[in-house]
Amino acid sequence: MRAARLTLICHAATSATRSAAFPLDEPIERIGAAKARALAGALRRPDRAWTSPAARAAQTAQALGLAATPDAALRDCDYGHWAGCRLDALEAAEPEAVARWLSDPAAAPHGGESIVDLVRRIGAWLDVRSREPGHTIAVTHAAIIRAALVHALQAGPRSFWRIDIAPLARVTLSGGAGLWRVQGIEAAGGRRSATERGG
């Protein structure tokens, strides 16, 4: 049986991405859509494709030429009443709450989902995918990909904050039976990580 291979793709840039705001469900920007269409030719045809139900992920999947099925497990982190707010504005209005959120992965001062809960949700999704042979592509959100890396590396949830995922970045995992290894990380412009280069 073929091993499982999973490519996680972050959705294209939105107005929230550009302004460092917690997202609502903004559409992708025109330049982001164009970059996604340019990336489409570099993707190998998958055995299956999934997308977050958010418009920005579905639009990215379409621009990538993927016939992707929405999966609620790939939805973005629930930021509660912070959704739609800029981070700098929240740091001024709720400095203690933001500091707690950034230092305690079990905290959810916004009334939404904690990082611990997010990693647990995505870990359960990854455990299911690890038993599916062949190549899967999932178009989702930066927070989801960060949580997937935390789970795959069996790292502590505090490491979530040490991972940056840019729009259209790709992370490839391989494995099976609930175990994953990081095969490569690639930025939208095609720059590969040291791991993927063999460095």
> For the purposes of burial, counting CB atoms within 10 Å of the CB of 70, is it exposed (0-12), middle (13-18) or buried (19 or more)?
middle
Give the confidence band of 139 by pLDDT, cuts at 50, 70, 90.
very high
Q: Specify the CATH number for 9-76+121-197; select among 3.30.1510.10, 3.40.50.1240, 3.30.70.100, 3.50.50.60.
A: 3.40.50.1240
Looking at every residue in the chain, the average pLDDT score rounds to: 91
Q: Looking at the predicted structure, is the pLDDT value of residue 198 above 50?
A: no
Q: Where are the beta strands (DSSP E) in the chain?
A: 4-10, 48-51, 69-70, 134-140, 170-176, 179-186
| Predicted local confidence at residue 121, as pLDDT | 97
Write down the pTM of the prediction: 0.91
| Predicted local confidence at residue 2, as pLDDT | 72
CA distance 37 to 147: 26
Tens-place pLDDT, residues 70-89: 999 999 999 999 999 999 99
Residue extents of the structural domains in the chain:
9-76+121-197
